[in-house]
A = this chain, B = another copy of it.
Amino acid sequence: MKDSSRPPSKFLAAISQIQEMIKTDRLQCGDKIPSERELSDRLSIGRSSVREALRALELLGLIETRRGEGTFLRDFTDHQLVPLIGTFIFDGEQNKEDVRDVKAILELGCLAILSRKSSFDFNESGSSFQQKIEAADNRLLQNIWMIISDYAGSDPDNERLQELLAAAKQIQYSEGQ
């Protein structure tokens, strides 16, 4: 008879409690979070487990640690996890193709959003997609696009985007079926 409800690992518990604490205390980006030793006390969890949690969050780019100073909340914009996940996931075979497609998809979506926003003049807003993405004013989109871009390499003439745009215009789709 195995007790299926084994308590979650302290490591995971620490993570969620830290999140909780951040919410409760309304901590903002740049704010300092309690020291490892204090967290260890307040959560009644060994410092090692607290550290495991913090290191994981750090790798995700959610926090930043500065020796001698403390641990701080961080803006997600600095996407830490990319090079890591990249080597594990993106690398290899024809995944590059997938990455390029997804990048084009995001860019197509970006254009669509801008087009929806009002009569947006594509030829005025600067040529770089970086600027277009920012103009779309969607942080999540921006983050994902930046991450993907790091791995997609360049697509000089936005060939793939043009291709997708053309394809999109052909779509006959109504959810009414």
Contacts and interface: CB of A to CB of B under 8 A. Distances in A.
A164 B90 contact: no
Contacts of A144: 102, 144
Nearest to A74: B88
Main secondary structure of the interface of A (DSSP, over half): helix
B116 A164 contact: yes
A39 interface: no
A43 to B, nearest CB: 16
A99 B102 CA distance: 16
B108 A168 contact: yes
Contacts of A157: 175
Contacts of A162: 173-175
Contacts of A33: none
Interface in A141-177: 141, 143-144, 157-158, 161-165, 167-175, 177
B171 A158 contact: no
Interface of A: 11, 15, 19, 48, 51-53, 55-56, 58-60, 62, 76, 81, 84-85, 87-90, 95, 98-99, 101-102, 104-106, 108-113, 115-116, 122-123, 127, 138-141, 143-144, 157-158, 161-165, 167-175, 177
